[in-house]
């Protein structure tokens, strides 16, 4: 991806807009939100519970920030129903579905190739140990 000109945006601290979007989509919680919303819309508490099954749970604050960021980027739709108690459903936009499909492919690849990555890490550390002992 060639970027001809870096455009400064106040919230990005001068970061290229496409790089900032990539950061949002591939963030720790962004990936999980996008993948989970591929299946169907979720309410906030349901989404939090489902995402938390992948390890350490996501805080309410962090999930709120992630959803707001993805909504601002046009990837997530927030549907607030005027009922008591309030009901808010989150779903993917068409743009969000495209991004989520890409992210899911990357997540599947990492799962499928993790054994090879572990072997490479082990070989790296063994080579470093041999090198440091020789020094």
Q: How far is CA 122 from its chain centroid?
A: 27
Residue 77 CA neighbour count, 13 Å, CB half: 12
What is the average pLDDT score of the chain? 88
- Residue 58: count of CB within 10 angstroms of its CB: 21
Percent of the chain with pLDDT over 70: 89
Question: Which residues are paired to 91 by β-bridges?
Answer: 77
Please state, in angstroms and rounded to a whole number, the distance separating the CA atoms of residues 37 and 59: 18
Condensed to tens digits (0 to 9), the pLDDT of residues 72-103 reads 999 999 999 999 988 999 999 999 999 999 99
Per the CB < 8 A criterion, the answer to whether 96 and 25 are in contact is: no
For position 134, what pLDDT does the model report?
82
pTM beyond cutoff 0.85: no
Higher pLDDT, 10 or 32: 32
Q: Does 1 score more than 90 pLDDT?
A: no
Phi, psi torsion values for 44, nearest 5 degrees:
-55, -55
Is the backbone peptide bond immediately before 85 cis, with ω within 30 degrees of 0? yes
């Amino acid at each position: 991806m060639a970027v001809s000109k870096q455009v400064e945006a106040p919230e990005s601290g001068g970061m290229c807009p496409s790089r900032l979007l990539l950061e949002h989509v591939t963030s720790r919680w962004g990936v999980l939100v996008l993948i989970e919303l591929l299946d169907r819309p979720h309410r906030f508490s349901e989404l939090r519970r489902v995402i938390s099954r992948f390890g350490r749970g996501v805080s309410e604050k962090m999930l709120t920030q992630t959803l707001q960021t993805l909504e601002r980027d046009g990837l997530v739709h927030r549907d607030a129903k005027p009922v008591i108690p309030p009901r808010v459903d989150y779903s993917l936009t068409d743009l969000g579905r495209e991004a989520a499909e890409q992210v899911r492919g990357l997540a599947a690849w990492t799962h499928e190739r993790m054994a090879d990555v572990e072997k490479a890490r082990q070989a790296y550390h063994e080579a470093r140990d041999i090198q440091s002992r020789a020094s």
